Structure 1
Amino acid sequence: MRITNDIRYIGVNDHKVDLFEGQYKVKNGISYNSYVILDEKTAVMDTVDANFGQAWLNNLKEVMGDRTPDYLVIHHMEPDHSANIANFMELYPDTTVVSSAKAFAMMKQFFGTDFADHQMVIKEGSTLELGEHTLHFVAAPMVHWPEVMVSYDSKDKVLFSADGFGKFGALDVDEEWADEARRYFIGIVGKYGAPVQTLLKKAATLDIRMICPLHGPVLSENLGYYLNLYDTWSSYRPELEGIVIAYASVYGNTKKAASCLAEELSNRGADVKLYDLARCDMSEAVADAFRYSKLVLGSLTYNGEIFPPVRNFIHELTERNYQNRTVAFIENGTWAPTATRIMKKMLEDSKNLTLLDAGIHIKSAMNETNMEELDALADELTK
């Protein structure tokens, strides 16, 4: 695939993977992206997952022809991008490996060698001259590992963004960018909003015409749309006014309350998303909780605690710095309801949350008082 006159795509699509990073469902697979810059000297930008080494090397040979690479640039040492460094160096032993000092330390851990005789250690402000193309390196620690660098090609005005601006989904699948990019960002990078904000400030000083990430499509049009979404996600601001109701239920009574609330909110014109946390894709529920401005958590009291799927969901939120939202609660308990108190306690260290006093307090099954509470909560959430 031709990216520009001198930049070619040599990545691969993975439709065999069922769980990315062992936890995220990827029904449309994922891509592992790698690029080649063809100039007086040639630079290969990252490798791919271990399962696709030969396919990647074949792609590389097809693009390179009789030439041999001068540089292998490693932006990120996570194995889905670095697994074929040793295989590459066995095939092209005279290549110079270009990466950060922290990346070379990780390289030795992964491969038992850091290719000391073929190293070029780069840092913030380093450059690599290829001929007409010059790569300018920008440190991006904790986006989302500490060794990460991104690079900017000043000729074609391309940002090689490592995991930044990536998404789930293979490149041979046509789907909207935002939903799978949001799920990818919140799940994988979401904890590191502050480092992403730092990187965005650095990127704002560059004339970027194209973004080449390590997952997902090359972005070449309407870049402001993608940059604005990244700014929103990394600053933990809601994208949309709306309400996520996330609950779990054993005998259906908590589910009934959540469903009735969703109906009442919809009748009032609210944008509502309803998730059964015991059955849904947790990463989708988490992503929507960050997408929308308000959240209702519903749980029964279980072993003096809250129901495990709800506890896990709240942990997923707080681990990713959930903040700047309004939260309400539905609780159920037959003899000693404690769910609301426990859910509030789990959120007590989260920044700038408005925890509503209005809520639904069920004892076993919904009654007339609960319907009045539901009506009042719907009013409070939509006023």
Structure 2
Amino acid sequence: MKVTDTIVYVGVNDHEVDLFEGQYQVPNGMSYNSYVILDEKTAVMDTVDAAFGQQWLNNVEKALQGRRPDYLVVQHMEPDHSANIPLFLEKYPHVQVVATAQAFKMMNQFFSLPSDIQQMPVTNGGELALGTHKLTFVCAPMVHWPEVMISYESEEKVLFSADAFGKFGALDVEDNWVDEARRYYIGIVGKFGMQVQNVLKKAADLDIRMICPLHGPVLKENLGNYIGLYDTWSSYRPESQGVTIAYASIYGHTKEAALCLAEELRKNGTTVAVYDLARDDMAAAVADAFRYSKLVLASNTYNAGINPFMNDYITRLAEHSYQKRTVGLIENGSWAPMAAKVMRGMLEKCKEITFAENTVTLMSAMKSENEAQVKALAAELR
């Protein structure tokens, strides 16, 4: 597949994977992207997952049309992109490998490579001339590994963005880019907002007309929208006004309160997303907590603490630097309700969290007084 007349897509689609990185549901599969730049000299941009090594090599060989590659550019050492470095070097032992010093260190950790491989270590601002095409390398540490770099091609003004601007889903499946990119970003990169902001500042001076990520489609139009979303996500600003309600319930009473609140909010036109943490996609529930301006946590008391699914959820929020939101609490307990106190304590470590003044406390089941508490909380969250 041609990206341009001189840049060829040589990646693969994976419809066998069920959990990306062993935890994220990917019902539409994944793409592992790789590109070949054809000029006086040729450069292959990254490899693909180990399961697709021969298919990828065939794609590369077809794109080269009998030519030999001069460079293998390694932007990111995560195995879904680097696993076929040994296979590539076995077929093309003469190639020069271009990467950061940290990436070369990781290469030796992942693989037993020949000692005579031709290494070209690059630093921030380093350049590689291929002919009319020239790559400039921008170090992007902790987006989302420390060795990462992105590459800017100045002739056609293409940003090879590593994992940035990627998404879940194979390229032969149509889905909502924003939803799957958000779920991907928050789950995988979300902790490193400051580092993403630093890279966005570096990229602001570049004339970018196309973005080639390592997952998901090549982005050619309305790039300001994609870059704007990354700016919003990485600065932890709410993307939309609305309320995410996440609940964990044993016998359905806590669920009843959560759904009652959702109904009350919707009556007044508030956008609401509701998640059953025991059954729904946890990554989507985390992503929507970042998407919307407000969050409600509803949990039963469990062993003097909170429901294990709620504990997992709040832990994930905190690990991904959840901040700048208003949070409401619903708790349930038949003799000593503790859930609100525990949930609040877990989130107090996060930055700029404002807690709603009204808390809903159930003693076993919903009663008339709880309905009044729900209405008061809904009024506060509108």
Give yes or no for TM over 0.5.
yes
Give the Cα separation in 1 of the matches to 2:325 and 2:373: 21
Give the Cα separation in 2 of the matches to 1:114 and 1:322: 44
Give the Cα separation in 2 of the matches to 1:39 and 1:339: 62
What residue is the counterpart of 1:21 in the other structure? 21
For residue 263 of structure 1, give the secondary structure of its aligned residue in structure 2: helix
Within 5 Å, give how 1:258-269 maps onto structure 2: 258-269=258-269
What residue is the counterpart of 2:374 in the other structure? 374
Shift of residue 268, structure 1, vs aligned partner: 1.2
What residue is the counterpart of 1:47 in the other structure? 47
Give the Cα separation in 2 of the matches to 1:281 and 1:261: 21
Q: Give the superposed CA RMSD.
A: 0.8
Shift of residue 115, structure 1, vs aligned partner: 5.2
What residue is the counterpart of 1:364 in the other structure? 364
What residue is the counterpart of 2:199 in the other structure? 199
Question: Is the contact made by 1:301 and 1:338 (CA closer than 8 Å) also made in structure 2?
Answer: yes
For residue 361 of structure 1, give the secondary structure of its aligned residue in structure 2: strand
For residue 325 of structure 1, give the secondary structure of its aligned residue in structure 2: strand
Shift of residue 368, structure 1, vs aligned partner: 1.3
* Pair 1:115–1:123, CA change in 2 (3 A): farther
What residue is the counterpart of 2:347 in the other structure? 347
Question: Is the contact made by 1:104 and 1:114 (CA closer than 8 Å) also made in structure 2?
Answer: no
Shift of residue 143, structure 1, vs aligned partner: 0.3
In the alignment, structure 1 residue 183 sits paired with structure 2 residue 186: no
Amino acid at match of 1:40: E
**Structure 2 spans left out of the alignment, 5+ residues:** none
Give the Cα separation in 2 of the matches to 1:127 and 1:225: 28
Question: Is the contact made by 1:108 and 1:114 (CA closer than 8 Å) also made in structure 2?
Answer: no
For residue 191 of structure 1, give the secondary structure of its aligned residue in structure 2: helix
Shift of residue 174, structure 1, vs aligned partner: 1.2
For residue 324 of structure 1, give the secondary structure of its aligned residue in structure 2: strand
Give the Cα separation in 2 of the matches to 1:196 and 1:119: 28
For residue 355 of structure 2, give the secondary structure of its aligned residue in structure 1: strand
Give the Cα separation in 1 of the matches to 2:112 and 2:310: 42
Question: Is the contact made by 1:239 and 1:292 (CA closer than 8 Å) also made in structure 2?
Answer: yes
Shift of residue 6, structure 1, vs aligned partner: 0.6
Give the Cα separation in 2 of the matches to 1:47 and 1:116: 20
What residue is the counterpart of 1:98 in the other structure? 98
Give the Cα separation in 2 of the matches to 1:117 and 1:209: 34
Amino acid at match of 1:338: M
Give the Cα separation in 1 of the matches to 2:295 and 2:117: 55
Give the Cα separation in 1 of the matches to 2:268 and 2:116: 65
* Pair 1:377–1:199, CA change in 2 (3 A): same
Give the Cα separation in 1 of the matches to 2:309 and 2:7: 46
Amino acid at match of 1:13: N
Moved more, 100-109 or 366-375: 366-375
Within 5 Å, give how 1:214-253 maps onto structure 2: 214-253=214-253
Amino acid at match of 2:257: A
Amino acid at match of 1:76: H
Shift of residue 113, structure 1, vs aligned partner: 2.8
Shift of residue 72, structure 1, vs aligned partner: 0.3
Question: Is the contact made by 1:107 and 1:114 (CA closer than 8 Å) also made in structure 2?
Answer: no
Shift of residue 116, structure 1, vs aligned partner: 4.8
What residue is the counterpart of 1:332 in the other structure? 332
Give the Cα separation in 2 of the matches to 1:149 and 1:295: 35
Shift of residue 283, structure 1, vs aligned partner: 0.3
Give the Cα separation in 1 of the matches to 2:129 and 2:258: 60
Give the Cα separation in 2 of the matches to 1:360 and 1:39: 65
Give the Cα separation in 2 of the matches to 1:179 and 1:209: 23
What residue is the counterpart of 1:146 in the other structure? 146
Give the Cα separation in 1 of the matches to 2:252 and 2:149: 50
Shift of residue 114, structure 1, vs aligned partner: 7.0
Amino acid at match of 1:259: L
Shift of residue 349, structure 1, vs aligned partner: 1.1
Deviations 1:260-288 (A, max 9, x none): 11101101111011111111000010000
What residue is the counterpart of 1:271 in the other structure? 271
Moved more, 58-67 or 155-164: 58-67
Within 5 Å, give how 1:296-307 maps onto structure 2: 296-307=296-307
Q: Percent identical across equivalent pairs?
A: 64
Amino acid at match of 1:183: R
Amino acid at match of 1:22: G
Within 5 Å, give how 1:277-316 maps onto structure 2: 277-316=277-316
What residue is the counterpart of 1:123 in the other structure? 123
* Pair 1:285–1:115, CA change in 2 (3 A): farther
What residue is the counterpart of 1:107 in the other structure? 107
What residue is the counterpart of 1:12 in the other structure? 12
For residue 317 of structure 2, give the secondary structure of its aligned residue in structure 1: helix
What residue is the counterpart of 1:213 in the other structure? 213
Give the Cα separation in 2 of the matches to 1:77 and 1:58: 22
Amino acid at match of 1:358: N
Shift of residue 82, structure 1, vs aligned partner: 0.3
Give the Cα separation in 1 of the matches to 2:244 and 2:115: 50
Give the Cα separation in 1 of the matches to 2:3 and 2:21: 28
Question: Is the contact made by 2:93 and 2:117 (CA closer than 8 Å) also made in structure 1?
Answer: no
Give the Cα separation in 2 of the matches to 1:115 and 1:79: 21
Amino acid at match of 2:340: T
For residue 181 of structure 1, give the secondary structure of its aligned residue in structure 2: helix
What residue is the counterpart of 2:137 in the other structure? 137
Count of matched residue pairs: 382
Give the Cα separation in 2 of the matches to 1:374 and 1:352: 24
